[in-house]
Structures are given as C-alpha cells and as structure tokens.
Chain A
Amino acid sequence: MSGRFATPEAKEESTFEQIKNSPLFTVALNATFFGLGVLFIQSPLMDMLVPQL
C-alpha cells in the first residue's frame, strides 16, 4: 500500500442542483405551496367538499 488516499473527485453540481440546494428555492417552493393552499381553500372546490347532510 502506498499510504496515499485516493482524492475523491469533487462532483460539479448541475445548474438544477444548484438551484434546488439554494435556500431561496425552499422559501419560494413553500411560499408557492402556501399560495396554492390558500387558493384551494378559497375556491369553490372547497365549498364542494362540504357534506350536504
């Protein structure tokens, strides 16, 4: 054994991975989910989910 460690090659992140790993992506994604949730709750779809007893 040479005693040398093989240096792991640093993988270059693709543009998509860079965007996905950025903090802003998490914030924007959850803000979008929240907006969609509000739209759904305020939409007539939610009114249709009320049971007619």
Chain B
Amino acid sequence: MSQSEVATGTPVPIADLSKLSIPTLPGVTPQPPKANGFWSSNPVFSYLNDVYITISEHRKSLGLTNPGTIENLNKEVSRDVFLNQYFFTGLRADLNKAFSMSPVFQTSHTLSIGSNVLPPYAFSALYATDDYFIQGNIDNELSFSGRINYGWNKNNISKVTLQLAHGQPSMVQLEQDYQASDFSINLKTLNPSLLSGGFSGVAVGSLLQSLTPSFAVGLEAMYSKQPGPVPPETLVSYVARYNAGNWIASAQIQAQGALIASFWRKVSDKVEAGVETQVAAQLKPVSDPLLGTPIGFETAIEGQTTIGAKYEYRSAVFRGQLDTNGKVSAFLEKRILPTVSILFSGEIDQFKQSSRLGLGLQFEAAGNEQLMLMQQGLIDANGNPVPGAPQI
C-alpha cells in the first residue's frame, strides 16, 4: 500500500488487517476466538467453565475410581459367596445348547420336579453382542420374562425388563445406568404411567460416589404412587462401601427400617469368605390376650447373621453357609465330564428340625464342531489347540 493510497482514503481490505503491526502489551498474547465463542467469552459462563475445569482437575488428581453400582454393593457376599442365587430343591435338569460364541446365542431347557419355586418346564434363550444383551424366558404356564440391555457406550446402558406372569399383574421396568470415572447414577422406573392424572408407578434414583480411591458413599431415593387418591410414598436409603483390595466392607441403612452390614474377603485365589448381618424392623400382628382376635400391630426387631465361604476347585465349586437361625446350607457344582455337571444343594434347619434337598444335572451341547471342541477343552476361543490337551 503506497502513501498516496492512504492519503486519498482508499479503504483497507479486511483480510489485510492481520498483517498490520498493531502494538500489543508486552507479555500478553491475544487469545484466538473459540468456536463456541458465546459460551466461553461470556464472563458468567467463562467463570463457570473455569470453576468446572478446576473441580474436574482436582477430582482427577484424587485418583478416584468407579465405585460400582448400588445394586452390586454387596454382590461379592450375597451373590458370589452365599447360596441365595443357587439354592434349589427337588430334582432338576438343565439342557443348554450354545449355537455361536460371537455373537453369543444359546438356548436352555430346564425341567424340574418337587420345587416350590422352579416351574416344571422353562425355556430360555440368550443373544448377546458387544452392544446388545437380549434374554427371554417362558415356562409351561406361559409366564414370560424378558430383558433387553443396550450399551450406548461403555458408560451408558439402557435396560428394559418385562414380566408377564400367569395370574399376576404384568410388570415393566425401564432403567438407565451411567457409570462415570468416580460415580455411578442409576435411574429406574417400574410400571410408569401418566394416564391416571399424573405419574403413577415407582421411580428410583440412586447415586454412588467415590470419596477416596477405596471409600464410596451413596443414597437411593424412591418415589411410589399408586393410581387413585392414594398419597405417594417416598423413601431414602443410605449406603457406604469400603474396598481395600482383598477385602470389602459395606453398610446399608434402608428406609423401610433395615440395616445391612456385610464383609467379604478373598482368602486366596480359590477361596472367598463373607459375613452379612441384617437387622430389620417388622410389623407383627398383636392379638387380644383373652379373645385371640387381632387388635393391631407392633414393631418387632428381627436380626440374622450369616457366614459363608466359597471354594473353587479345578472341576468343582463348593459353597457353604451357616446362619444364626440355625440353618446350615451347602451347594456343590461338580463337572464330571466336560459337558456334564451335577448339582447338589442341601439345607438343615437345626431349630425347626427340617431339611431340604436338591439334586440336578446340567448338560451342555454344542451347535457346531468348533464349539464342541471348545467345551471339551481341546481348543481355545481362537480355534488353536490348548497346550497339554489330548491331540484331536
């Protein structure tokens, strides 16, 4: 640009403004404008962004880990060590057939006699990919239960559960799980409806937050509203969990008036032990001492402590437990052939002088030759021969 052009007032092209040498304060570098300029240049949002970034950096510096979910708070004791999930009575036979491993597709037929819980016949199918998990179960009375889980990413999982039981009200549950780096949120609703003049059903929200790398606290809030002019109910429960690596302690104060404390220890690679105490306030009917007719309710405190252990052997898993109500229980799952297992469960109630017994067989079948060789331990998941296995 020549001196004469400036003198005559010729406009400077805007593109050339950056080439002008505008003097700046020493040590100050002008920041380039950001893509979302309004949200970052606005003084209020800029301050909030700074606060958020400071807090998240501080949280990262604490080295917190995800604490798991409230549903799995004492999973190690109540689901892994204790027999609750495994115990059955009578005779049962499970015929499982795996059709493929990727995606997983397998079906199962369960036959049972002499059980109060298991139906005489049930069929279930399972299909799972990296994102989806679909399971359906139907029994001889046409009671159906199904579950669909979909993982949006590794932190977000949506779940739908449906139960259509014969002679019982149907049930649907919608659930969303969010697991962040140092907390977990779970939102679920049971039989939600907006048709009866507002929300009716059950809504539950829970939060579990790590405070240190080992210690986490959380709470669960429940809102329940039946259709009609019934006042809603709200309940809040509090939980805490301490994970020290080889042992885990947890405590729950439930709004219904129950206190649950549990302790789990991994004694060795193959042995785990756990103890759980439940103290609950329950309403007991009070009857008239003269006439024997019920006249009301009184609150009674009942407690139970259970101690148990789980042993994993090469081809067997043994669980045993003992509780303060005098019950001694054991469950054994023993693989007698690569595709056949036997199940044994027994319980003796020493105070009531009664016992229960269960015996079962599990057969595994394969839908193709490769799966059959995998089930027999001859090849691994990639089709390579397992070292030490007999030659095919």
Q: A: which residues have CB within 8 A of B?
A: 5, 8, 23, 26-27, 29-31, 33-34, 37-38, 40-42, 46-47, 49-51, 53
A23-B301, A26-B279, A50-B271 given; A40·B311 CB < 8 A: no
| Contact call A40/B279, Cβ cutoff below 8 A | no
B residues within 8 A CB of A41? 263, 265, 267, 273-275, 307
- B303 interface residue (CB < 8 Å to A): yes
B residues within 8 A CB of A38? 249, 263, 275
Q: B: which residues have CB within 8 A of A?
A: 247, 249, 259, 261, 263, 265, 267-268, 270-271, 273-275, 277-279, 281, 289-290, 300-305, 307, 309, 311, 313-314, 324
A residues within 8 A CB of B302? 26
Residue of B nearest to A31 (CB): B277
| Contact call B275/A37, Cβ cutoff below 8 A | yes
A46-B267, A47-B267 given; A30·B324 CB < 8 A: yes
Residue of B nearest to A24 (CB): B301
B residues within 8 A CB of A40? 275, 307
| Contact call B265/A34, Cβ cutoff below 8 A | no
| Contact call B265/A46, Cβ cutoff below 8 A | yes
Please report the C-alpha to C-alpha distance between residue A52 and residue B273 in the assembled complex, in whole angstroms.
17
Min CB–CB distance B261 → chain A (angstroms)? 6
A residues within 8 A CB of B300? 23
| Contact call A34/B277, Cβ cutoff below 8 A | yes
| Contact call A33/B267, Cβ cutoff below 8 A | no
| Contact call A34/B275, Cβ cutoff below 8 A | yes
Please report the C-alpha to C-alpha distance between residue A42 and residue B244 in the assembled complex, in whole angstroms.
13
| Contact call A33/B277, Cβ cutoff below 8 A | yes
A8-B289, A49-B309 given; A34·B261 CB < 8 A: yes
